[in-house]
């Protein structure tokens, strides 16, 4: 027999109210990655101490160079921008149960498509003659950029759609085919810029012709972040809603859960596979377009900078969640920025950044296994005698 | 309670990530007020006036595309930088493995804003366009010195160039190779068909043919600057074809030289002295001595000279005469006559009586590229446009 | 040194030499991955293991003969052993992490690529420049021909022969031994393995560690046999490709051998053709291995039958 039934009801009610916000889960969701990050910093600190560096100086430097000021944070965001898009190339098909690692290839193809469209729209030819170079067409730069973005999307999309189609219609393993297609795309790009679309004026590095200055992707006002960051953010939000809130996304997730069941339910699994793969590739293709339009202004081997492979990791750490992809990309951007500072200021070798990256991701991946392991974050078992919650608060949706 | 939780399951990750990074973002925003202002004001004063004063060290920023110890291009530069690092009043900031992406700009920016660098030396060709052009526009008070001859009128005034032309070294090495080969077939393992590589192949064969006019050279492009497996296969394939002297222009010639030694054929090196790698077969090689440049620059910048007002020359270019490049010590396989010949050629090059690019020079399709009676000096910009392979080269650039 | 030119014969010879010379890393990594995947886990991190193996083998071979007074004949072999052990350490990390609940093995693999290559590059800095004693060859060509090109092509590394011998051995191990059965059971149906009283965790742990040991030896081959040098570009994606080859080879060790030989051979096509003067489209020739592999997969796969030999518990990705 309870002495204070009233207070127990209060507590139960209170817990009920709070549990609507699931505060323990939120606390867990904050504490675990932050804890993982801190732990990986400790590990890295030990590593640095072994190298004869003061770990605390290292921590200060990492913070300062990645997130310490608005100007360094801009550097972090800049590095994060392409990663958000390439991460989607793995994250989207993963919902269908496909393991695609062709991000780098799709990015390169997107860049090639974008430069082709950009040069065609600006000069009327992919290999413009000196006269053509003199008169830039009257198409407004927004139009040219739109054309480039579309071309990048289509080129990257088709590249991965082939992987999806091979998977569905020929049962070719998508992981290996997309990996092979990376190498093929890079070879194709090198071949094209080395011959067919080469700018003969550029003798030091085989490149395509350059876009005119006016048709480049510009920076956000007062910052040095180009609009490619927005492409990433918008694409991630769209991808999130597409997967979580539309019938298309529902169908994809169903097929990803159980192909046989999806077939029985009458879902067009083949079409879904190809479409999701197209969307995935188009995201990476858009990343390629942004790199070409905002950074390089042309296509050459610099386009292959490992954004694709890093994107795979971002997708995994974000657990294929498009919104989480943006945040993980920012975290990684920060790590990439701080790697440079460690070299410049503390005179550590360039590989230190790789060690740091590897440690952070291994520990974060390990932290996934800790969900639900800590008592603190567990929902307490509700008191047996607790009355049902008031009707107003129990109108919860079951997904 | 069960259904309440079920809504949150798909969002758990979202919230987790969101809050984690929001925390980062928030702190960074909050801290902006106190840290960034002071940082930027510091850097502007430093970059504005710091050049001449003696109490502040002269800060120089160096960027490398590879590792500092790649035994190749980047290492050759880093060794030069090491020599000026000990000079009084000089502080070096270095960053290696900087990819040719937006990263380059970010690194240069950090060197200027955070480390107070007043002169930046990006050492990779690929850094020039668009990255250096972009940064030079944004930081007109900072001097950028790029290792190339790419500056053209209309580009920002605060960019200077420096370059050591290897053609003369390769020419002499080619003469040595021609006097050593028994089969009359030379080989060349090259990375990519771009101007600096093509010129090295051309001057190698031109040197060889100035001794033995019927010598031929077979080129294999591996397709990238660092491809150890392909480099080994290329060297072996050349050896299979009866090639007995191999020249090389890849990022790290170690594999090619070692493989040539294993196949018991001769090799002619690049970047640095590689005698130790092939004690029997190494003939000689073109080696850089970047420290000369860097010492020179340090002196000029310390004296308050600037490339913007012309007190530092726009392009500092040189070759054997200036000791920017040297031939590596001859290996045991080089005959006394060949040594003598090479020293004579070096002397002639140094006094200007021998120009490598003296017409008539045909390309390997028979077309005359440099007509009779025309001769180009090493510094002539025409040479930077060469995209053809000279007569006697078996290979093509596309 | 008076080698007569062998002309177009250089192409098949070059491909043969390439096959014998550069397929061993693919072979070792794919055998290691085969063992790992048979137990139901994927280890993409073998690229990092390969680099780590290459670095540690070269470092030990160099340090052993130069600093620690070992004989130059012994130190490379100790290097090979240490490379395998370095691989085992990375393998242990992978095995332990990827068996935690909710942790995706592919993700761990990619993180291990970064970590492994990072550690290898970090520790490997001082060893890029010096020369380390190399492993010996069997001069098979000496017995058969006087042509130096043939002699060089038929220099066979004992390490390669070990790899070739290992493939059928592993095949027999899977088919006919009790531990092999356990591994297959763990990979195909963990429940059945549990019922047999096999510890899934232990079996997978051992398989991943043994697989990484092989990958480490593959790395040692890179730095001590061919190309026989240590630098940061030494693997250039070979570890990743080898992992892909296992799928190509349908998880059959003997087919891994064929796939590795095929891949090693096609890699030599580009340089061999250029040496005889076919030189347009170098990049496309260099992509030949990838295009051919893809084509073969497209031709041989069919949606009507599932991949035979695919371990049942493999590649189930869960968010």
B-chain residue closest to C278, CA distance? B395
pLDDT at B2: 39
| Residue keyed to tokens 């004989």 | C71
- Whether C318 has its CB under 8 Å from any CB of chain A: the answer is no
Mean pLDDT (chain B, rounded): 85
Reply yes or no on whether the pLDDT at C5 is more than 80. Answer: no
Q: How far apart are CA A386 and CA A47, in angstroms?
A: 52
pLDDT in tens, B267-311: 999 998 888 899 999 999 999 999 989 999 999 999 999 999 889
Distance (Å) from the C-alpha of residue A383 to the closest C-alpha of chain C?
Answer: 30
What one-character-per-residue DSSP string does chain C give? Answer: --PPP-GGGHHHHHHHHHHHHHSHHHHHHHHHHHHHHHTT---TTHHHHHHHHHHHHHHHHHHHHHTS---TTTHHHHHHHHHHHHHHHHHHHHHHHHTSTT--HHHHHHHHHHHHHHHHHHHHGGGSSS--PPPP-EEHHHHH-S-HHHHHHTEE-HHHHHHHHHHHHHHHHHHHSHHHHHHHHHHH-HHHHHHTT--HHHHHHHHHHHHHHHHHHHHHHHHHTSS----TTSSTTHHHHHHHHHHHTTT-HHHHHHHHHHHHHHHTHHHHHHHTT--S-HHHHHTHHHHHHHHHHHHH--TTSPPTT--TTTT----
pLDDT at A30: 78
pLDDT at B69: 85
Which of B67, B223, B228 is the closest to C227 by Cβ? B228
- Whether A194 has its CB under 8 Å from any CB of chain C: the answer is yes
**Chain C neighbors (3+ CB pairs < 8 Å):** A, B
Residue ranges per structural domain of chain B: 48-164+291-318, 167-287+326-394
Which of B14, B96, B398 is the closest to A321 by Cβ? B14
Under the banding of pLDDT at 50, 70 and 90, the label for residue C133 is: very high
Distance (Å) from the C-alpha of residue B222 to the closest C-alpha of chain A?
Answer: 12
pLDDT at B11: 47
pLDDT at A157: 97
Q: Are C101 and A177 an interchain contact pair (Cβ–Cβ within 8 Å)?
A: no
Mean pLDDT (chain C, rounded): 88
pLDDT in tens, B210-224: 999 999 999 999 988
Which of B185, B229, B395 is the closest to C236 by Cβ? B229
Bridge partners of B267? B246, B282
Rounded to 5 degrees, what are φ and ψ at A314? -55, -45
The H or E element containing residue A40 is: helix A23-50
Q: Chain C, 113-172: which have a CB under 8 Å from a chain A CB?
A: 114-119, 121-122, 125
Q: How many C-beta neighbours within 10 Å does residue A12 have?
A: 17
Distance (Å) from the C-alpha of residue C146 to the closest C-alpha of chain A?
Answer: 38
Contacting residues of A for B107, CB less than 8 Å apart? 340, 344
Of the candidates A296, A317, A331, the residue with the CA atom closest to the CA atom of residue A205: A296
Distance (Å) from the C-alpha of residue B37 to the closest C-alpha of chain A?
Answer: 9
A-chain residue closest to C106, CA distance? A316
Q: How many C-beta neighbours within 10 Å does residue A245 have?
A: 10
pLDDT at A279: 96
Mean pLDDT of residues grouped by 10 in chain A (399 residues)?
Answer: 57 57 75 88 93 90 89 91 95 90 96 96 91 87 94 97 93 88 95 90 89 89 88 94 91 85 86 94 96 94 90 88 92 89 89 91 89 75 52 40
- Whether C287 has its CB under 8 Å from any CB of chain A: the answer is yes
Q: How far apart are CA B123 and CA B131, in angstroms?
A: 12
Distance (Å) from the C-alpha of residue C148 to the closest C-alpha of chain B?
Answer: 8
Contact status, residue C135 vs residue C159, Cβ threshold 8 Å: yes
- Whether C10 has its CB under 8 Å from any CB of chain B: the answer is yes
Q: What percent of chain B has pLDDT over 90?
A: 59
- Whether A257 has its CB under 8 Å from any CB of chain C: the answer is no
Of the candidates C80, C114, C113, C128, the residue with the CA atom closest to the CA atom of residue C231: C128
Q: Are A365 and C97 an interchain contact pair (Cβ–Cβ within 8 Å)?
A: yes
Q: What ipTM was predicted for this assembly?
A: 0.89
| Residue keyed to tokens 């992919």 | A126
Q: Are C290 and A312 an interchain contact pair (Cβ–Cβ within 8 Å)?
A: no
Q: What is the mean pLDDT of residues B351-357?
A: 89
Q: Are C128 and B71 an interchain contact pair (Cβ–Cβ within 8 Å)?
A: yes
pLDDT in tens, B44-93: 333 444 444 456 889 999 999 988 888 888 999 999 999 998 888 999 99
pLDDT at C289: 86
Reply yes or no on whether the pLDDT at C56 is more than 60. Answer: yes
Q: Are C283 and A172 an interchain contact pair (Cβ–Cβ within 8 Å)?
A: no
Reply yes or no on whether the pLDDT at B240 is more than 90. Answer: no
Structure tokens given for B352 = 């200007």
Q: Are C114 and A94 an interchain contact pair (Cβ–Cβ within 8 Å)?
A: no
Task: Mutation target for A interface from B20, B35, B64, B78: give the one with most A CBs within 10 A.
Answer: B20
Q: Are B384 and A71 an interchain contact pair (Cβ–Cβ within 8 Å)?
A: no
Contact status, residue C23 vs residue C257, Cβ threshold 8 Å: no
Q: What is the mean pLDDT of residues C78-101?
A: 95
Match domain B48-164+291-318 to its CATH number in 3.40.50.2300, 3.50.40.10, 3.30.505.10, 1.10.3720.10: 3.40.50.2300
Of the candidates C2, C8, C17, the residue with the CA atom closest to the CA atom of residue C261: C17
Residues 6+ apart with CB under 8 A from C232: B66, B67, B70, B226, C121, C124, C128
Q: Are B1 and A200 an interchain contact pair (Cβ–Cβ within 8 Å)?
A: no
The H or E element containing residue A161 is: helix A141-170
Of the candidates B198, B138, B156, B253, the residue with the CA atom closest to the CA atom of residue B146: B156
Distance (Å) from the C-alpha of residue A171 to the closest C-alpha of chain B?
Answer: 30
Which of A172, A188, A351 is the closest to C301 by Cβ? A172
Contacting residues of A for C290, CB less than 8 Å apart? 180-181, 183-184, 187
pLDDT in tens, C253-289: 999 999 999 988 888 888 888 888 777 788 888 888 8
C-chain residue closest to B72, CA distance? C129
- Whether C104 has its CB under 8 Å from any CB of chain A: the answer is yes
Distance (Å) from the C-alpha of residue C109 to the closest C-alpha of chain A?
Answer: 9
Structure tokens given for B76 = 């050759």
Residue ranges per structural domain of chain A: 89-128+136-321
- Whether A385 has its CB under 8 Å from any CB of chain C: the answer is no
Q: Are A204 and B125 an interchain contact pair (Cβ–Cβ within 8 Å)?
A: yes
Under the banding of pLDDT at 50, 70 and 90, the label for residue B381 is: confident
Structure tokens given for B3 = 């259904």
Please state whether B48 falls in left (phi above 0), alpha (psi between -120 and 50) or beta: alpha
Which of C116, C125, C287 is the closest to A187 by Cβ? C287
- Give residue B94's Cα distance to chain centre: 16
Residue ranges per structural domain of chain C: 27-136+158-237
Q: Are A320 and C103 an interchain contact pair (Cβ–Cβ within 8 Å)?
A: no
Bridge partners of B287? B271, B326
Which of C121, C290, C294 is the closest to A351 by Cβ? C121
pLDDT in tens, B8-42: 434 454 444 444 444 444 444 333 333 333 333 33
What is the DSSP pairing of strand B282-288 with strand B325-327?
Answer: antiparallel
Contacting residues of A for B398, CB less than 8 Å apart? 194-195, 198
Which of C114, C248, C298 is the closest to A354 by Cβ? C114
Contacting residues of B for A296, CB less than 8 Å apart? 101, 130
Q: How far apart are CA A247 and CA B209, in angstroms?
A: 73
Q: How far apart are CA C255 and CA A20, in angstroms?
A: 56
Q: Chain C, 256-315: which have a CB under 8 Å from a chain B CB?
A: 267-268, 270-272, 274-277, 279-283, 286
Q: Are C1 and B396 an interchain contact pair (Cβ–Cβ within 8 Å)?
A: no
Q: How long a stretch of residues is chain A?
A: 399
C-chain residue closest to A169, CA distance? C303
**Contact pairs from chain A to chain C, CB under 8 Å:** 145
Which of A166, A355, A361 is the closest to C122 by Cβ? A355
Which of C103, C284, C306 is the closest to A366 by Cβ? C103
C-chain residue closest to B187, CA distance? C275
Q: Does B167-287+326-394 match B48-164+291-318 at the fold level? A: yes
C-chain residue closest to B244, CA distance? C1
Q: Chain A, 30-89: which have a CB under 8 Å from a chain B CB?
A: 30, 32-34, 37, 64-65, 67-73, 75, 78-79
Topology of domain B167-287+326-394, CATH = Rossmann fold (3.40.50)
B-chain residue closest to C265, CA distance? B233
Distance (Å) from the C-alpha of residue B198 to the closest C-alpha of chain A?
Answer: 10
Q: How far apart are CA A304 and CA A312, in angstroms?
A: 15
C-chain residue closest to A93, CA distance? C317
């Amino acid at each position: 027999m309870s002495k204070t039934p009233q207070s127990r009801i209060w507590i139960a009610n209170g817990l009920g109210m709070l549990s609507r916000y699931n505060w323990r889960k939120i606390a867990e969701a904050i504490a675990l990655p932050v804890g993982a990050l801190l732990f990986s910093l400790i590990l890295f600190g030990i590593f640095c101490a072994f190298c004869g560096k003061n770990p605390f100086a290292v921590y200060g430097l990492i913070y300062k160079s990645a997130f310490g000021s608005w100007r360094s944070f801009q550097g972090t965001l800049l590095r994060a921008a392409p990663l958000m898009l390439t991460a989607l190339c793995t994250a989207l098909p993963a919902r269908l149960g496909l393991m695609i690692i062709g991000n780098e290839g799709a990015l390169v193809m997107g860049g090639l498509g974008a430069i082709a469209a950009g040069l065609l729209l600006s000069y009327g030819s992919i290999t413009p003659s000196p006269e053509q170079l003199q008169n830039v067409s009257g198409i407004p730069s927004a139009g040219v950029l739109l054309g480039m973005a579309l071309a990048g999307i289509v080129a990257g999309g088709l590249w991965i759609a082939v992987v999806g189609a091979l998977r569905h219609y020929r049962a070719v393993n998508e992981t290996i085919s997309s990996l092979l297609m990376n190498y093929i795309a890079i070879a194709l790009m090198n071949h094209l810029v080395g011959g067919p679309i080469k700018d003969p004026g550029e003798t030091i590095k085989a490149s395509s012709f350059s876009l005119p200055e006016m048709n480049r992707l510009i920076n956000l006002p007062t910052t040095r972040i180009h609009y490619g960051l927005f492409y990433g953010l918008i694409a991630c939000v769209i991808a999130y809603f597409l997967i979580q809130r539309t019938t298309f996304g529902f169908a994809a997730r169903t097929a990803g859960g159980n192909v046989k069941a999806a077939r029985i339910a009458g879902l067009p699994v083949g079409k879904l596979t190809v479409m999701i793969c197209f969307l995935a590739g188009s995201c990476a293709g858009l990343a390629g377009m942004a790199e070409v339009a905002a950074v390089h202004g042309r296509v050459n081997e610099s386009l292959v900078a490992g954004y694709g492979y890093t994107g795979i990791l971002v997708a995994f750490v974000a657990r294929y969640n498009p919104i989480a992809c943006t945040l993980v990309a920012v975290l990684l951007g920060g790590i990439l920025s701080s790697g440079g500072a460690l070299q410049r200021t503390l005179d550590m070798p360039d590989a230190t950044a790789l060690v740091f990256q590897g440690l952070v991701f291994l520990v974060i991946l390990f932290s996934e296994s800790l969900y639900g392991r800590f008592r603190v974050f567990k929902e307490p078992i509700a008191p047996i005698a607790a009355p049902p919650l008031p009707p107003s608060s129990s109108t919860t949706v079951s997904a | 309670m069960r259904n309440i939780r079920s809504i949150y399951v798909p969002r758990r990750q979202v919230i987790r990530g969101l809050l984690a990074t929001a925390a980062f973002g928030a702190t960074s925003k909050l801290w902006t007020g106190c840290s960034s202002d002071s940082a930027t004001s510091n850097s502007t004063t430093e970059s504005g006036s710091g050049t001449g004063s003696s109490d502040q060290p002269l800060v120089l920023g160096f960027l490398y595309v590879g590792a500092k110890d790649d035994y190749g291009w980047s290492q050759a530069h880093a060794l030069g930088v090491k020599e000026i690092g000990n000079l009084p009043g000089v502080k070096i900031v270095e960053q290696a493995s900087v990819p040719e992406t937006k990263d380059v700009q970010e690194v240069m920016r950090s060197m200027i804003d955070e480390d107070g660098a007043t002169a930046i030396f990006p050492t990779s060709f690929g850094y020039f366009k668009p990255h250096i052009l972009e940064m030079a526009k944004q930081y007109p008070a900072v001097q950028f010195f790029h290792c190339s001859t790419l500056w053209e009128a209309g580009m920002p005034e605060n960019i200077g160039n420096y370059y050591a032309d290897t053609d003369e070294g390769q020419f002499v090495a080619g003469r040595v190779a021609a006097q050593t080969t028994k089969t009359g077939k030379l080989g060349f393992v090259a990375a990519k068909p771009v101007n600096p590589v093509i010129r090295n192949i051309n001057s190698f064969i031109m040197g060889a043919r100035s001794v033995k006019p019927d010598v031929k050279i077979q080129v294999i492009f591996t397709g990238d600057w660092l491809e150890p497996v392909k480099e080994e296969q290329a060297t072996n394939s050349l050896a299979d074809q009866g090639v007995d002297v191999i020249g090389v222009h890849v990022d790290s010639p170690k594999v090619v030289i070692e493989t040539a030694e294993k196949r018991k054929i001769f090799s002619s090196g690049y970047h640095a002295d590689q005698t130790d790698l092939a004690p029997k077969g190494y003939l000689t090689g073109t080696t850089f001595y970047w420290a000369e440049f860097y010492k020179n620059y340090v002196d000029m910048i310390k004296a308050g000279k600037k490339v913007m007002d012309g007190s530092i020359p726009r392009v500092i270019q040189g070759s054997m005469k200036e000791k920017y490049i040297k031939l590596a010590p001859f290996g045991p396989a080089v005959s006394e006559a060949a040594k003598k010949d090479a020293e004579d050629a070096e002397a002639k090059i140094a006094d200007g009586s021998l120009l490598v690019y003296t017409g008539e020079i045909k390309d390997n399709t028979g077309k005359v590229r440099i007509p009779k009676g025309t001769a180009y000096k090493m510094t002539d910009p025409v040479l930077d446009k060469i995209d053809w392979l000279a007569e006697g080269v078996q290979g093509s650039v596309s | 040194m008076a080698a007569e030119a062998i002309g177009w014969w250089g192409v098949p010879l070059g491909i043969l030499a390439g096959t014998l010379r550069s397929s061993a890393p693919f072979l070792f990594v794919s055998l290691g991955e085969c063992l790992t995947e048979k137990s139901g886990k994927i280890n993409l991190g073998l690229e990092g293991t390969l680099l780590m193996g290459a670095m540690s083998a070269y470092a030990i071979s160099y340090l052993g003969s130069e600093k620690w007074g070992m004989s130059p004949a012994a130190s490379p072999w100790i290097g090979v052993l240490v490379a395998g052990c370095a691989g085992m350490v990375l393998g242990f990390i992978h095995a332990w992490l990827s068996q935690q609940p909710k942790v995706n093995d592919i993700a761990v693999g990619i993180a291990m690529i970064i970590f492994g290559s990072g550690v290898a590059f970090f520790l490997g800095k001082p060893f890029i420049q010096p020369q380390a004693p190399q492993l010996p060859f069997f001069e098979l060509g000496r017995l058969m021909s006087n042509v130096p090109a043939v002699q060089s092509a038929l220099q066979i590394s004992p390490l390669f022969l070990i790899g070739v011998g290992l493939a059928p051995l592993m095949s027999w191990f899977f088919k006919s031994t009790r531990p092999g059965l356990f591994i297959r059971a763990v990979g195909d149906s963990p429940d059945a393995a549990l019922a047999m009283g096999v510890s899934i965790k232990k079996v997978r742990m051992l398989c991943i560690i043994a697989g990484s040991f092989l990958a480490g030896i593959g790395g040692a081959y890179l730095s001590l046999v061919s190309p026989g040098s240590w630098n940061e570009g030494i693997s250039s994606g070979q570890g990743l490709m080898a992992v892909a080859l296992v799928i190509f080879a349908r998880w059959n060790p003997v087919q891994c051998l064929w796939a590795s030989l095929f891949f090693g051979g096609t890699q030599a096509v580009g340089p061999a053709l250029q040496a005889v003067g076919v030189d347009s489209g170098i990049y496309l020739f260099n992509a030949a291995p990838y295009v051919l592999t893809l084509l073969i997969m497209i031709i041989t796969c069919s949606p009507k039958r599932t991949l035979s030999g695919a371990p049942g518990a493999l590649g189930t990705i869960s968010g």
